[in-house]
Structure formats: structure tokens, C-alpha cells
Amino acid sequence: MSMNSQGRPSAIPVAASTDAVTGTITGNRGLQIEEPLIFEQDAPGRCGVDLPEIPTVATRLGAVKPRATVGLPGLAEPQVVRHYTRLSQKNYAIDSGLYPLGSCTMKHNPRLNEKMARLPGFADVHPLQPVSTVQGALELMDALAHWLKTLTGMAAVTLAPAAGAHGEMCGIMAIRAAHEAKGDSGRTKILVPESAHGTNPATAAACGYAVESIPATADGRVDLAALKAKLGPDVAGLMLTNPNTCGLFERDIIAIADAVHAAGGYFYCDGANFNAIVGRVRPADLGVAVMHINLHTTFSTPHGGGGPGSGPVVFSEALAPYVPVPYVTHGANGFALVEEAGDGPAFGRMKAFHGQMGMFTRALSYMLSHGADGLWQASGDAVLNANYVMAKLEDVMTASFDGPCMHECLFDDRFLKGTGVTTLDMAKALIDEGFHPMTMYFPLVVHGALLIEPTETESKASLDQFIGALRALAERAKGGDVAYFQAAPRLTPRRRLDETAAARKPILRWTPPAGADAVAAE
Amino acid sequence: MRYLPLTEADRQSMLAATRAASVNDLFRDVPEAARLSGPIGGLPNHMGELEVERLMGAMAAKNIAAGSVPSFLGAGAYRHHVPATVDHMVQRGEFLTAYTPYQPEVSQGTLQVLFEFQTQVSLLTGMDVANASMYDGATACAEAVIMANRVTRRKKALLSGGLHPHYRDTTTTDARFIGFDAVALPADPTGVEDLAAQIDNTTSCVVVQNPSVFGHVRDYSDLAKVCQAKGALLIVVVTEALSLGLLTPPGDMGADIVAAEGQSFGNALNFGGPYVGLFAVKDKYVRQMPGRLCGETVDADGRRGFVLTLSTREQHIRREKATSNICTNAGLCALAFSIHVSLLGEAGITHLAQLNHAKAVQMADKLAAVPGVEVVNGSFFNEFTVKLPKPAAGVVEALAARRILGGVPVSRLYPGEMDDLLLVAVTETNTESDMDAFATALAEVLS
């Protein structure tokens, strides 16, 4: 290679081949680095941990044979660190930018909460240690229960359910147990509005109930008259999200609750949107009989790419006897843990051990940090941010219902009519602008839904940038630049993925390339 | 408030844009009687980090951390050493603060992790395919039974007496409300029960646990054949996933479904959660599985990529016809599992499993030498049952007073039963001196 006088190459060497997509030799694009599967980086015998020698003993495996191989790859620690670092860089996250997923509530995850959850006194405690050695853990559960009961005004709480949908199961089981205790076996239906989360009908059906849909009025709320017409001795309860999935508060909520209870049913409130009203409105004052709370949406435990969640459930006085085990009580020698249902009306266990303790610590850390005044301000800011976004977009996009909205605002695709651009295309174009898309095509009650939830942890500057981008995209769509949208996203680690092919011939795991065994055997 | 970026000036200018008189005015759809006039009473106001740390630190300090004393607890939750890399990687904000990967173009990191996780679980269990995780082992077990009922169109599950009582109870709770029979056999502390004789042509599935809650390891290949002959599915539960590094995997024994707890890899004890449920099946049952699945595909440029797939099984598409109501799973715990398994690799996982077994053998011998103590198990992996001359609960309390966490009394899991039995688990975290201290203290407490 020829060098210039500074000792640098005088000409950039031309590679034999370049990647067709990126134009680079490696297929990498600056900070976006292609990363093979971990299984494609194997060197047999290599290991990322150093372990002590195995003492020589006679094994006690009975009739079970030791397995010959597992088939896992061998990597050293630096390779593993680089693998997961590179993979992480292919994710959008709330830490990176605005993540306005309606109904999912992507708010800032304070790192103090992570630190608290990792205190050895919480993280390194076994669930079956003697109760005398875990008094602080039980105190924390008791404190969280106190906060949840105070914020909701409800009589009782279980911390056991592992996630929101699991909390729904718990609530519907309690309703069923209560009816059974009264000897009322004729209640076979649960009413669910059309706008409900998919988990609501799935939960009701899983608990053996027939699901009956109730329609919405033109203003996006439950049709009270239609609801009343469906109530009767065959209805076990109503599952209703409030604020609802259109981002609206059900104005008739108290009348709805009264009607359900007068007909002998129970009002189950899906608390996924509790973050809109936390600290300002107590669900007990709305007539709620039972409600789950997603600790990740309201109290900022991290979503973690799809869990873990935690779904405590609060109960009215009437349903309090049916709280499942386990739960914490105050005993003569400090806190006690009731782990068996016994002969009472309480029904049994829903998972192993005592609930998602690691989420409890994070949620309590969030609650203590905010306090009563901070929660008041947080729900106020969440609602203000959503209304601001709605106000700034309603002249270029089509809001589905009149405001004020609560913590999220709903648009439909009427503004895209005749443009050839779809809700999906808009979402993908937003990705190129550096935003995570809003929730698309949910709720199902409007066409081509775009549900935007900014949360209280976004600044005005961040909202203004988002609003500016969406306005410009809406104008561009109306200007007829369909091809631009259909090709989006262009700037992501991967462009649109073929989901049809993925479902038609599912490839759900890596398999060794053909002939690998033969090579290994040589 | 440190988490709220809006200034008072922002709020005023934004309110003007919304044409509302005040933030309270935005809540006008809430019935007036239900609107609080100011911050809720009975709770403290906001606190700085320092104050929160003080309060929560004081609570944490009231617990005995398992790592601060010799600790021998298992029974479905195991204290293993988690390499520093795991928690460091898990705390990367791009993993920690991302949502479910519904927008695959900006979620390839999470999706590739799930694809690799599914592969690791398939390999460890010896099964064809695994999902992207469940809440925990117990809920995975219940979902496996529900799935078996669906596949076989039968409604009677047979639960082994070696199944962890929390798993049994989680399943029977579902049985009561969903409407199927879950026949739980009597506790089997000696590991001798004969399940084959109890299977008939109405049995949807047989649920066994290997190693059992009492620690026994068994080969279920013959049981699998009986199940197949009677048209029932064999569900194998594993609560100590590390055992899969040493024992013949359930898939090789003929299991149809494996429901396991993955906490042993990458996840702290956390007083019982969050953990990570593993769920693996034979290929032919893929479309009957609950939970999320990640699959390989290509993007518009023809490059390999990953997406969530077969979602027509799931609640957000199928609503009341879904295979399960599960939505959230255990994403971040699955990531921790996956990183730990990647660090261990083939050589490490085999070595670590053998190390656990060898240490457990040593511990069993030390305890067997304590007067009055009898090791019940003929076979085990890293956990076994001992019979004591006194009620185990009191013994464990007395050991705790000596700052030794000496196992789980069987009566904690079976109230009022088998109060002289104690479950003892041993892992790589237990040193020789821990083991000696335990044996010595036990001898003192029993004398």
C-alpha cells in the first residue's frame, strides 16, 4: 500500500465486495453493528465463568443417566458483554426518547427504584426463610398494601398476582367465589365494552363466563341504557376500564356501578389507566367492587421488554373475604404471613410464593419519592400533556371524540382518507423521525386508531418536537407522498419485517446447520 | 418533584392551548363528588432520594440476607452465584425501559434475545420449541395443564405427590374456576409413587416434577409410554433449572410439555419474585401454546430479523377465544436467564450442575453423620429430604437464631403434615465451612 508523507494511506483500499444494503464492507453502519446469534459464536470448551473444581464423590442420581450434551455455545465474558450491548443498541426505549404507547404508559423509570430493589435485604432473601428473619420484607409489603388501599379507598388488597392480566383473573375469580358463596349459580355472563383490552374478554372466558359485548355511545363512553338492558340475574359482573381505552372518563361511572350492583353483579374496574387519576380520585368513590393495578403503568416499575409485571388487586368490603393467599397480617410477634387458604371463603394460591417482591420495592420507592403531593402533580401533568398534544394536533389529524381527554388522546384515520397512507405507515414514518409510534389499531371501536399517551415525564420541548413531526407527516401524507410512507422505516437496524412469512412457516429457534454434527465428530 | 419536567410557565402556556381554565378543569368529566380537592390525606409528601434510601434501607436491614449467613433453602427458589455481567447488562436502559416488542424495526434487540432464549430453553429441556416465558414455574405448570386439556379434549389432570404444593395449589385454583378436575395424589416424600396405574382414558395429563419437591430424581420414560398409550400428555415440571445441566432432559424421557422455573439462572431470590416461567413443547403442539413466541423472518431488504409471531393464539387478537389471557410475561427475567446461560455455555453449565450435585452429596453425608438425622433420599440432584428427631420448624427457628438458614421445613409447604422432615438444598455458594457449621449447629440444636 502506498503511503503519503504523514504515513497515512494515500488511497482508500477498495474492498472486493460491499454489503448491498449498507454499502459497507461489513454490513455494519457506524454505531449500528450487525450481531450474529449467540449460537453462531461458539468455540467448544470456551466458558464465560470460572468455577471451582468438582469434589470427587459417588453420584446419587439413581436410575437417571447424566446427559451427554446440552448443545449450548461457549463464549468468553467479553464476547457476551459485546453481544448484549450490541443487541441493546437495536432497541428503542423510554430512556432514549418519547414512547407514546397509549394504554401502556411508558413513563420514566427512576433508577433509585432499581437501587432499592437490589438492596441485599430485599433481593437476597429466600421466600421460605423463617418469618422472623424477613420482618422487613413483610413490613414493605404491608406498607405497599397501605398505600394501595389509601390511594384507592378500598377495603382490602392482594399483592399476589404476577401481572395485570393475572390480576384480572384474580378479580374475576373473587367475583365468582362470591356468587358461589351465596349459592347463586345462575350468573353465567360477564359484560365487557367493545373498547376493552383483549385481556378482559380472555380473562372472563378463561374463568368460564360467556362474554357479552356492550356498545359505546357516540361520545366514546358506555351506553348506560344498553348496559341496563343487558343486566339481569344471569350477569355476574361488568369489566370496565376507567378512564376508558379511548382516553375518556366514564361520566356515568357511579350510575353504571349502581346499576350493576343493584342487579346483583359486581363492577370490575380494569385499573390499567389508574395512572390518570391516581392521587386525585379514589376508585372506591366511583363504586368499584374490585380493581387490579398494574404497578408498571401507574408506579413506574420498568416494562423490561415485556415484563415482569405485577398486578395487585383491591377489593371492596363485600369482596374482601375472598382475597387469595398469601397475605401479610399483624401478629403478636410482628408481621405474619398467611400462606394457606384454610376453610374460609378465601380461595387458594395463584402463583408460587408471595408475589413480585422486586416490583413491590420499586413501586414503593416511586410512591415515597412522589408522596401525596407528587402523585397529585403527576396525574395532573399526565392529563395536561395528553390534552396539549390533542389540542395541537386536532386541526391536522382527526380526534375521535371531543375532549377533554384524560392521560391519552385518541385519533382515527379519517385524516388519511384518500391518501393511500395507513395508520401503520404513519407509525413507521414516525420511527424514522426518532420516535416510538403510538398504539395503533387499538381500541377497536374507531377505524385505524392512533392512541397517544405522552405521560407526565415528558417535557414541553419533547412534546413540541413530537407534535411538529406528526403535523409535518400528516401534511406530507395529504400531499400524496405515499411511496415515502410505504418505504418507511428506512433508518432502523431492520426495515419492515415479513410477519406473514414468519407465521406461515414458523422458525422459533436456532438449529445447528446441517452437517455440524459430522464436523464436530471429526 | 424531580421526575416532572413541566415548569409552572409550561403548564400555564399549555393550559392556554387546551382552552381549559385549570388542570382541575381537565378532570371535569369525573363526578364532582369523587374528585379530591387536593393531595390525598393520610400519606406523606414527596421525599428526596436520600430520605427514601434511609426508609427503605431500614426495612431491608431487618431481614437476614441469605448471602450473609450459611443458607440451605431451596424448595423452588435457589441461591446461585449470578455473574456481575448479568445485572450490568440487564440494567441497560434499552432493555430495561423498552416495551413488548410490537414494533419489530426498533425492537430487534429484545426480539433476538427472545429467539435465543427460546432456543436455550429448548436445548436445556430437550424439547422442540419453547415460548418467550411465563410468569413463573407455578403458573407455567397450570397453563400446561390447561393446554393439555385443550389438546386432549379431556378434563382430568393427575398431579404427582412430588409436585411442589404451590404448583399444585396454583393448578387447583385454576381447576376450580376454569372447570376441570385436578386430582392431586398424596405427598410422596420417599419418591416411590406409581402413577402409571392411575391413568385412564379420561386422563388429560400427568404432571410430575423432576427432581421432585422432596428432591428425588426419576426416569419417567416408562411413564411417558403409558401416557402415550392412554392418550394423555406427560407434563414434566422442573423447579431447579440447573438440574437440566446434568440429568437426562425431560424431552429425552418423552415429555409432551415441560413447565419449569428458570430463576436459578440469572435471577436473585427476591423473596419469591419476579421469576421466569419456562414453557416448552413438542413441535406438534406449537399452535396450542400460551404466551408470546418470537420467530425468524426477513426484512424488506432481505436481511434476517425477528418478530413476535403466531399471535392469533393471543388475547390481543383472539380476545375471548385466546389460548390464555396472558399478556405480560417475564421479559427482563428471561434476559437475565439468557445472559447467565450464555456466560456458562456448554462447559460451564455441565460443570456447575456437577458441582452442585457433588456438594449436595457431601452435605448429605455430613448430615447423615449427625445423631438422630436420617437422609430420606436414595437419589437427588442438589436438594434432599432429611428426617429429624424433632419438629423441623422449631429446629429451623433455632438454627436461624444461630444465624444459619438451615433449609425449609416440609410442614411450611404441607401444614400439619410431615413435621419431622426438612428440605436441604446445596449450591455452589455453600462453602465447606458453611456445610460444617450447619452440621455442627444441627447437632447442637438436636442434642
Domain map (residue ranges) of chain B: 66-81+346-446, 84-340
Say yes or no for a CB contact (<8 Å) between B332 and A302.
yes
Spell out which residues of chain B touch residue A197, defining contact as CB-CB under 8 Å. 316
A499 shares a domain with A424: yes
> Mean per-residue pLDDT for B184-192?
97
Domain that holds residue A409: 377-504
Domains B66-81+346-446 and B84-340 agree in fold: no
Judge if pTM exceeds 0.90.
yes
Name the residue facing B31 among A89, A254, A364 (closest C-beta). Answer: A254
Spell out which residues of chain A touch residue B59, defining contact as CB-CB under 8 Å. 121-122, 136-137, 139-140, 143
CA-based nearest distance A13→chain B, Å: 26
3-class SS of residue B325: coil
Say yes or no for a CB contact (<8 Å) between A89 and B25.
no
What is the reported pLDDT for A518? 47
Name the residue facing A381 among B6, B303, B381 (closest C-beta). Answer: B6
- How many structural domains does chain A have? 2
For residue A73, tell me if it sits in a domain: no
For A395, half-sphere exposure in the C-beta direction (CA atoms, 13 angstrom radius) is 8
pLDDT at B56 over 60: yes
Name the residue facing B110 among A73, A108, A305 (closest C-beta). Answer: A305
For residue A108, tell me if it sits in a domain: no
Say yes or no for a CB contact (<8 Å) between A65 and B105.
no
> Mean per-residue pLDDT for B304-322?
86
A415 shares a domain with A329: no
Percent of chain B with pLDDT over 90: 96
Spell out which residues of chain A touch residue B24, defining contact as CB-CB under 8 Å. 380
Say yes or no for a CB contact (<8 Å) between A116 and B53.
yes
CATH of the domain at A443: 3.90.1150.10
A310 shares a domain with A253: yes
Spell out which residues of chain A touch residue B346, defining contact as CB-CB under 8 Å. 44, 69-74
Q: Which residue of B has its CA nearest to A191?
A: B320
Q: Are the C-beta atoms of A362 and B97 separated by less than 8 Å?
A: no
Spell out which residues of chain B touch residue A198, defining contact as CB-CB under 8 Å. 314-319, 322, 327
Q: Which residue of B has its CA nearest to A95?
A: B93
Q: In what order do the strands lie in the sheet with B421-425?
A: B374-375, B383-387, B421-425, B408-409
CATH of the domain at A285: 3.40.640.10
Say yes or no for a CB contact (<8 Å) between B89 and A44.
no
For residue A36, tell me if it sits in a domain: no
For residue A331, tell me if it sits in a domain: yes
> Mean per-residue pLDDT for B401-425?
97
User: What cell was used for A54?
Assistant: 468438582
Q: Which CATH architecture has domain B84-340?
A: 3-Layer(aba) Sandwich (3.40)
Percent of chain B with pLDDT over 70: 100
What is the reported pLDDT for A421? 98
A338 shares a domain with A258: yes
Q: Which residue of A has its CA nearest to B274?
A: A356
Spell out which residues of chain B touch residue A384, defining contact as CB-CB under 8 Å. 6, 11, 14-15, 18, 23, 26
In whole angstroms, give the CA distance from residue B81 to residue B147. Answer: 34
In whole angstroms, give the CA distance from residue B380 to residue A269. Answer: 47
Q: Which residues contact A467 (CB under 8 A, 6 or more apart)?
A: A389, A392, A393
Name the residue facing A352 among B41, B170, B347 (closest C-beta). Answer: B170
> Mean per-residue pLDDT for B386-409?
98
> Mean per-residue pLDDT for B191-208?
96
Say yes or no for a CB contact (<8 Å) between B269 and A124.
yes
Q: Which residue of A has its CA nearest to B172?
A: A348
Kindly report the number of other CB atoms within 10 A of residue A285's CB atom. 17
Q: Which residues contact B54 (CB under 8 A, 6 or more apart)?
A: none
Say yes or no for a CB contact (<8 Å) between A310 and B274.
yes
Say yes or no for a CB contact (<8 Å) between A279 and B63.
no
Q: Which residues contact A484 (CB under 8 A, 6 or more apart)?
A: A429, A476
Task: Give the residue from B406, B300, B92, B152 showing the smallest Cα distance to A500.
Answer: B300
> Mean per-residue pLDDT for B59-72?
98
Say yes or no for a CB contact (<8 Å) between B60 and A253.
no
Choose the final residue of a domain: A368, A399, A429.
A368
Choose the final residue of a domain: A333, A368, A403.
A368
Say yes or no for a CB contact (<8 Å) between A495 and B301.
yes
B234-283 pLDDT, tens digit each? 999 999 999 999 999 999 999 999 999 999 999 999 999 999 999 999 99
> Mean per-residue pLDDT for B119-135?
98
Q: Which residues contact A253 (CB under 8 A, 6 or more apart)?
A: A242, A286, A287, B31
A385 shares a domain with A340: no
For chain B, the average pLDDT equals 97
- Lowest-confidence region among A511-520, B131-140, B245-254, B396-405: A511-520
For residue A517, tell me if it sits in a domain: no
Say yes or no for a CB contact (<8 Å) between B330 and A308.
yes
Topology adopted by domain B66-81+346-446: Aspartate Aminotransferase, domain 1 (3.90.1150)
Q: Are the C-beta atoms of B75 and B413 separated by less than 8 Å?
A: yes
Name the residue facing A60 among B4, B53, B361 (closest C-beta). Answer: B361
A451 shares a domain with A418: yes
A359 shares a domain with A401: no
Name the residue facing B169 among A44, A279, A349 (closest C-beta). Answer: A349
Under-50 pLDDT residues of chain A = 1-3, 518-522
ipTM: 0.97
A382 shares a domain with A336: no
Spell out which residues of chain A touch residue B166, defining contact as CB-CB under 8 Å. 349, 351-353
CA-based nearest distance A227→chain B, Å: 19
Spell out which residues of chain B touch residue A101, defining contact as CB-CB under 8 Å. 99
For residue A514, tell me if it sits in a domain: no
B318 pLDDT band, cuts 50/70/90, is confident
A258 shares a domain with A161: yes
Name the residue facing A95 among B67, B97, B295 (closest C-beta). Answer: B97
A326 shares a domain with A277: yes
A431 shares a domain with A356: no
CA-based nearest distance A478→chain B, Å: 24
A416 shares a domain with A275: no
3-class SS of residue B296: strand
